[in-house]
Amino acid sequence: MVKKVVSALACLALIVSGGVAMSACGKSATVVESEQELVEAVQKGGDIRLGKDIVLSQGLTIANDVSIDLNNKKLGESIAYSDNNANDKSTMFYITGGGSLTVTGSGKVESDDLYVFWVNGSADKEANLVIENGSYKADCSVVYVTYGKAEVKGGTFKIENELHPEYIKYMLNMKDGNGIAGTASIVVTGGSFTGYDPANSLSETPAKNFVKEGYKSTVKDGVYTVTKA
């Protein structure tokens, strides 16, 4: 059952006690424990919190304002992608025009096929993505922006693809022409990236620095971490 709960005290950190969630600053949050509940909550919009691990059998379209708290849970997928289907969005989260998605909380989001997040707005309706924390794994791109904005503030990121290990360079990726035109953008102010340097992203031609001015990317044992300069 989908549960709506409100905290008794505003502006307190989110906590779980006896299966009851209390949201920060007096805002209500929808706690979801199944794929169907997550689909319905995303369609309605607002604050969502994972109550259990969930495996998606379909991609989720974000067409309004949505915030998802991973809440130390895992979000995976068993979506059947087809390279021959031109309409296949090939992503767990498809953020379309007018859509805005913020992902918070510790937890895992893992895709075995192509993208985790695809930001694809339009000139009339922009699309936005904000990743505050969490752990993300894909086999091609964690974030792909064709039209709109993506901001990475934290989290850990990894690409795993035995057949195409070179895809690691597409961990954060923009549509080339739109990136040059300024209608697609990625800004990184935090996070750790295995084998990929967001300050020198080879996904773009020429290579692009996604790290915001005033921040820096440093590497240790093959992991690039972005912090304030």
Q: Is residue 5 part of a domain?
A: no
Alpha-carbon distance of 135 to 203, in angstroms, equals: 21
| Residue 93 contacts residue 128 (beta carbons within 8 Å) | no
Residue 102 lies in a domain: yes
Secondary structure of residue 178 in the 3-state scheme? helix
Contact 92, 111 (CB under 8 A): yes
> Helix, strand or coil for residue 166?
helix
pLDDT at position 113 is: 77
Distance CA 199, CA 107 (A): 25
Residue 141 sits in which domain range?
29-228
pTM above 0.75, yes or no: yes
Q: Tokens 């597409």: give the residue.
A: 170
**Dihedral angle, C-alpha 77, 80, 81, 83, nearest 10 °:** 150
Residue 170 placed within a domain: yes
Structure-block tokens of residue 192 = 């750790």
What torsion do the CA atoms of 68, 28, 36, 130 make, to the nearest 10 degrees?
-20
Q: Is residue 165 part of a domain?
A: yes
- The number of distinct structural domains making up the chain is 1
H-helix or E-strand spanning residue 37: helix 35-44
Residue matched to tokens 């906590």: 15
186 in a domain, yes or no?
A: yes
Sign of the Cα pseudo-torsion (134, 135, 137, 143, in order): positive
> Is residue 127 included in any domain, yes or no?
yes
Cα(110)–Cα(159) distance, integer angstroms: 10
pLDDT by residue, tens only, the chain of 229 residues? 444 433 333 333 344 432 335 544 456 889 999 999 999 999 999 999 999 999 999 999 999 999 999 999 999 999 877 655 555 567 999 999 999 999 999 999 999 877 999 999 999 999 999 999 999 999 999 999 999 999 999 999 999 999 999 999 999 999 989 999 999 999 999 999 999 999 999 999 999 999 999 999 999 999 999 999 9
Instruction: Give the count of beta carbons closer than 10 Å to the beta carbon of residue 87.
Output: 5
- Does a structural domain hold residue 19? no
Find out whether 140 and 167 touch, Cβ atoms under 8 Å. Answer: yes
What distance in Å separates the CA atoms of residue 115 and residue 73, rounded to the nearest whole number?
19
Of 189, 161, 186, the closest CA to residue 176 belongs to 186
What's the CA gap between 228 and 223, in Å, rounded?
16
State the pLDDT at residue 82.
63
> What would the two tokens of residue 35 be?
């794929």
Angle made by CA atoms 27, 31, 33, in degrees to the nearest 5? 170
Q: Give me the pLDDT at residue 51, please.
A: 98
Residue 11 lies inside a defined structural domain of this protein: no
How many angstroms separate the CA atoms of 121 and 12, rounded?
34
